Amino acid sequence: MTGQEVRTYIRYSGWASRKVLEVAVALPPEDRTKPMGVSHESIANTLAHIYFGDAIWFSRIADPGYPVPPHDALPSLDFVIEEWPRLQAKWEAWANAVTDSDLARQVPFKSRFVGNAGLPAWQIVMHVVNHATLHRGQIVGMLRQLGMKAPATDILFYYYEQAVPVAS
């Protein structure tokens, strides 16, 4: 994976998360927290879980001092709405500075699933993007169960939106 690919994927993930968050914020509060039997039970909890994933991996790959909420006490949706754009800006700043050789760097971390571990930085980036994509898809399903029009978050739509218009 190259630095340019990392920049694209990190920007895509932020774009797609913003799209889902915008629709979620427009919902009545009771729909945001309604138990749906999917993922982390509700739209609000699933958004908080995506934020948690973005935050913990950012702290591991770029800034060990970045505050990460405890997994068993996910933050409120209000916190996520306020903090996620700042975290996304930090991810994008990191991606803007990363070099291809930085991406091969082994990043050590401790995981509640596997204990002490490590992965190359590029694999962490792929996990962050794929993790968020999985859970955004679950939120899209929850939105549809609520009768809402869900945003198009496929990477193809990101590419279309980012494309420079072709002169006719």
Task: Look up the CATH number of the domain holding residue 130.
Answer: 1.20.120.450
- Given a contact cutoff of 8 angstroms between Cβ atoms, the answer to whether 54 and 80 are in contact is no
Structural domain contains residue 151: yes
Tokens representing residue 45 in the block: 């909890």
CA dist., res. 113 & res. 110, Å (int): 9
Structural domain contains residue 94: yes
Which residues does residue 116 pair with via DSSP β-bridges, in sequence order? 110
- The pTM assigned to this predicted structure is 0.94
pLDDT on residue 127: 98
CA dist., res. 122 & res. 25, Å (int): 32
Please, which pLDDT band fits residue 168 given cuts at 50, 70 and 90? Answer: low
Q: Residue 110 belongs to what domain range?
A: 3-162
Read out DSSP for 22-63?
HHHHHS-HHHHS---SSTTSSHHHHHHHHHHHHHHHHHHHT-
Tally the domains of the chain.
Answer: 1
Structural domain contains residue 155: yes
Structural domain contains residue 167: no
35-82 pLDDT tens trace: 999 889 999 999 999 999 999 999 999 999 999 998 888 899 999 999
